[in-house]
Structure 1
Amino acid sequence: MTRKAIIALIVFLILVSVVLAIYFRTWTMAAAAVIALLHDLIITVGIYALTGLEVSPATMIGFLTILGYSMYDTVVVFDKVRENTQDAARTGRRTYAQAANYAVNQTLVRSINTSVVALLPIASLLVVGYFFIGPGTLLDLSLALFIGIAVGTYSSIFVATPVLASLRSREPSIKEQDRRALAYQAAQSKALDEVGGEHRSAESISGVIEPEQEKAVASAQSRARSRREIHPRAKREE
C-alpha cells in the first residue's frame, strides 16, 4: 500500500507540474504550487505520525483527495495573482510582491468561506464516525480530509503565494518592474506630502495610490507648475 501510494503521489505531482506550467505559462507558479502541495502532505502525514493514528487505504485516498483540493484553491489564488501582476507590469505602479499580496487579500475571504463550507460536512462525518459508528473507513477518510483541507487552505494563502513572489523576485524583468514601481511610488508619496496628510490612507503608505489620491496629486502638481511659471515672471517685473 505504501509503495502504491508513493507511486500515485509521484505521478500526481508530475502531471500537476506539467499542467500548471502550461496553464500559467511559467515554471515558477508550478514550482510554488508543488511546494505548497508538499507542505500540505508533510503537515498532514506529520500529524498522523505524531499522534500515532492508523494509516489505512481510506487514509491514503484522503491524502490524494486533499492534494487535489489544495491545488484547486492554489490555482484560484494564482489566477488572481496573474491578473494583478500583469496589470502591475503594464502600469508600473506596484511591485510584483505588492500585486501578489493584493491578490491574496482579494481572495482571502473567498478561500476561508469555501474551506468552512467544505469542513462543516466533513466535521459532521467525523463526529458521526467517532461517536456512533466507530473505527472504520468513514472515520479514516473524514479525519484525513479534515486535516488536509484545513492545512491546504493555510498553504494556498501563506505558503504558495510568498514562495511564488520569492522565486519571481530573482528574475531581471521583475527586478526592473519593482524598480519602476518604487520610483513611481516615491514620486507619488512626495506629491502627497505637498497636498497634506489628510489625503493619505493606509494603502498609500504601503505604496499603492488610489484614484482619489491621484486626483489630489495631479492638483498639487498643477499648482506647483503654476508657481514655477509665475515666479520667474514676477522676478522679471521686479
Structure 2
Amino acid sequence: MAFRLKLVPEKTNIDFFRVQWLTFGLSIFLIVASVVIVGVKGLNFGVDFLGGTTIRTESVNPVDVGAYRDALQPLDIGEVTITEVNDPSFRDDQHVAQVRIGAREGEEAVVPEVITAVEAALKQVDPQIVFAQVESVGPKVSGELIWKAVLAVVAGSVGILIYIWMRFEWQMALGTVAAMLHDVIVTLGIWSLFGLKFDLSIVAALLTILGYSVNDTVVIFDRLRENLAKYKAMPLREMMNLTANETLSRTVMTATTTLISLIALIVFGGDVIRGFVFAMILGVLLGTYSTLYMAKNIVLFLGVDRGDKPKKKATPDEYANIDA
C-alpha cells in the first residue's frame, strides 16, 4: 500500500464560525489599520515611482556606507540613499550596495555627468568597485506608473467581481472581492509599516495575490453551490462549515506547496526578487485566512437565495374533487 502524506485528516469537523465576530473583527481592524498606516506614513516608493537613478555596486572589499556617503557629500547632488545588500547566495568576497540618487525638481532624470561624478567618487573610496547596473526613471514616467499600477489593481478586482457574479451569486462575488481587497490592503499596510521598498515588482505581486486569493475562494464557493443543491434543508451556517471542512485538505495542501516554492525562492533567488517573493508569501498566508474567515462570513451575513427548491409534486388525489 502506497504511503500518502496527509496534512489534515480526511474528515474534519472544525467550526469556522465559532469565533466569527473575533475573526471578522480582526480582518476589519487590519484593513482599517493598514489604511491609516499607509495614509500617515505613505509607501517607500522605489525609483520606478519617484524618478531618479539607482546604481548597483559590487566589490571584493566590504561595503563602508559611511565612507561612500562622505565621498558623495561634496558633490551636492541632492538626496542620496545608500544601502548594503545582503544575500546568502553571494560569494564571500562579493559585497553589494545600492546607491539611489533622487532626480531634482524639474529634471526628467539624473544627468549622465552626475552619474559619472558619483562613480569617480566611489572609485576613490574603493578602487576595486564595479558598477554592475544603472537604472534611471524620470518623474513624469514614474507618475504615470503609479496611476497605471492603481488602475491595474482596480481593473483586476472589478473583472474578478463581474466573473464571480456571473458564475455564482452576487453575495459570493462581494465576499470574494472583499477577501481579495483585504489581502492587498493588509499587504500594503505591512509594506508601509516596515518601510519596505515599493516598486513595480510589488505591483506584480499584488496582482498575483488577487489571482491566488480568488482561486482559493472559488474552490470553496463551487463546493458550496453543489451543497446548496444537495442539502436543501440544511441551515446555511452548517452547510458553509461542511463545505469549508470538505475543501480544507485542498486549501492547506495548495498553501503549503506554494509556500515551499516561495521559501526556496526567497532563500536562493537573490535580492532582486526578494521583495516580490516576500509579498507573495504574505499574500498566500492572508489569502488562506481571508478565504476561511472573511469571504464566508460575508456570504453568511448577506444570505444566499435558496428559492430554487423543487416545488411539491401534486398527487392524483389533489385534483379529484375539482369540477371540470
Q: TM-score with structure 1 length normalisation?
A: 0.65
Q: Distance in 1 between matches of 2:254 and 2:243?
A: 17
TM superposition shift of 1:128:
2.0
TM superposition shift of 1:121:
1.1
Cα-to-partner distance string for 1:7-63 (whole Å, 9 max, x where unaligned): 011111111111111111x21110110011111111111111111111111111001
TM superposition shift of 1:79:
0.6
Between Structure 1 and Structure 2, which shows a larger proportion of strand residues?
2
Match of residue 8 from structure 1? 152
Cα-to-partner distance string for 1:79-128 (whole Å, 9 max, x where unaligned): 11111122222xx1x10111011100111121011100001111111112
Between Structure 1 and Structure 2, which shows a larger proportion of helix residues?
1
| Structure 2 gap segments, 5+ residues each | 1-144, 310-324
Match of residue 122 from structure 1? 262
Alignment counterpart, residue 139 of structure 1, candidates 274, 295, 311? 274
SS at match of 1:52: coil
Q: Distance in 2 between matches of 1:116 and 1:16?
A: 24
1:49 aligns with 2:189: no
- The 5 Å alignment of 1:1-238 reads 1-24=145-168, 26-89=169-232, 92=233, 94-129=234-269, 133-134=270-271, 136=272, 138-168=273-303
Q: Distance in 2 between matches of 1:87 and 1:165?
A: 18
Q: Distance in 1 between matches of 2:200 and 2:275?
A: 9
| Structure 1 gap segments, 5+ residues each | 178-238
Percentage identity across paired residues of the two chains: 32
Contact preservation (8 Å) 1:44, 1:144 = yes
TM superposition shift of 1:5:
1.3
SS at match of 2:206: helix
Match of residue 139 from structure 2? none
Q: Distance in 1 between matches of 2:245 and 2:266?
A: 31
Q: Whose Rg is larger? A: 2
TM superposition shift of 1:65:
0.3
SS at match of 1:152: helix
Q: Distance in 2 between matches of 1:117 and 1:20?
A: 26
Q: Distance in 2 between matches of 1:104 and 1:155?
A: 12
Q: TM-score with structure 2 length normalisation?
A: 0.48
**Alignment RMSD:** 1.6
Number of matched pairs = 164
Match of residue 200 from structure 1? none
Q: Distance in 1 between matches of 2:298 and 2:249?
A: 21
Contact preservation (8 Å) 2:153, 2:206 = no
Q: Distance in 1 between matches of 2:282 and 2:252?
A: 15
What amino acid is aligned across from residue 52 of structure 1 in structure 2? Answer: G
SS at match of 2:198: coil
